[in-house]
């Protein structure tokens, strides 16, 4: 009986009080209004580091697509890279920037053949050179390492193969892009 009294007299009113106070507190906290804070963040783009200047000595380049030399066409040259009409064996240029201590400057090339890739294959990416220390540095790309070749395997021996390809070449082929790019990296 004493336990019943304790439950009815003390515990039950305490629980009722906590329920009422908790419900009121919950209403006060969760029904309150708040003001959102918006902060504008400005954007500043710093100047990029000028790593020097790359130059290429040749003014204009042309990929000359000709038949290879055969009995019918003794003057045929095959595929040659030309500068103002003269066949060249290398591309050359310079890099004028200073290379900081602890860094190396790697020069690479990328060749994008586009539509020409249907008819001509080549090594489309490679390294030109790695430089350290103060400049200027001269660079050379050996054109023979590009390995230009006709995709049609029998073009040198089969005149008809070139005839068929020539018609398509005249209509489809446009410019190709040779990109020479340098990147700094930490010497490990």
Residue 8 domain flag: no
Among 68, 57, 52, 49, smallest CA distance to 91 is for 57
Residue 2 domain flag: no
Domains contained in the chain, number: 1
Residue 29 domain flag: no
Residue 86 domain flag: yes
The tens digit of pLDDT for each residue in 64-104 reads 888 777 777 788 888 888 888 889 899 999 988 888 888 88
The tens digit of pLDDT for each residue in 2-29 reads 666 655 566 667 666 666 555 555 555 5
Residue 33 domain flag: no
Residue 23 domain flag: no
Cβ neighbours of residue 80 under 8 Å, at least 6 residues apart?
A: 63, 64, 66, 87, 148
Residue 122 domain flag: yes
pTM for this model (two decimals): 0.66
Give the pLDDT band (50/70/90) at residue 62: confident
SS3 readout for 23-74: HHHHHHHHCCCCCCCCCCCCCCCCCCCCCCCEEECCCCCEEEEEEECCCCCC
Residue 156 domain flag: yes
């Amino acid at each position: 009986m004493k336990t019943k009294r304790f439950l009815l007299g003390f515990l039950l009113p305490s629980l009722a009080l906590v329920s009422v106070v908790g419900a009121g507190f919950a209403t006060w906290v969760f029904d309150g209004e708040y003001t959102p804070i918006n902060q504008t963040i400005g954007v500043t783009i710093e100047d990029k580091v000028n790593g020097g200047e790359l130059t290429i000595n040749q003014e204009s380049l042309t990929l000359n697509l000709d038949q290879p030399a055969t009995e019918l066409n003794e003057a045929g040259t095959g595929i040659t890279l030309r500068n103002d009409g003269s066949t060249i064996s290398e591309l050359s240029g310079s890099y004028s920037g200073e290379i900081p201590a602890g860094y190396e400057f790697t020069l690479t090339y990328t060749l994008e053949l586009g539509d020409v890739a249907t008819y001509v294959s080549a090594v489309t990416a490679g390294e030109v050179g790695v430089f350290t220390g103060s400049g200027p540095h001269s660079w050379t790309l050996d054109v023979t390492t590009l390995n230009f070749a006709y995709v049609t395997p029998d073009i040198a021996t089969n005149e008809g193969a070139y005839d068929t390809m020539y018609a398509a070449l005249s209509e489809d082929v446009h410019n190709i892009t040779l990109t020479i790019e340098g990147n700094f990296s930490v010497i490990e």
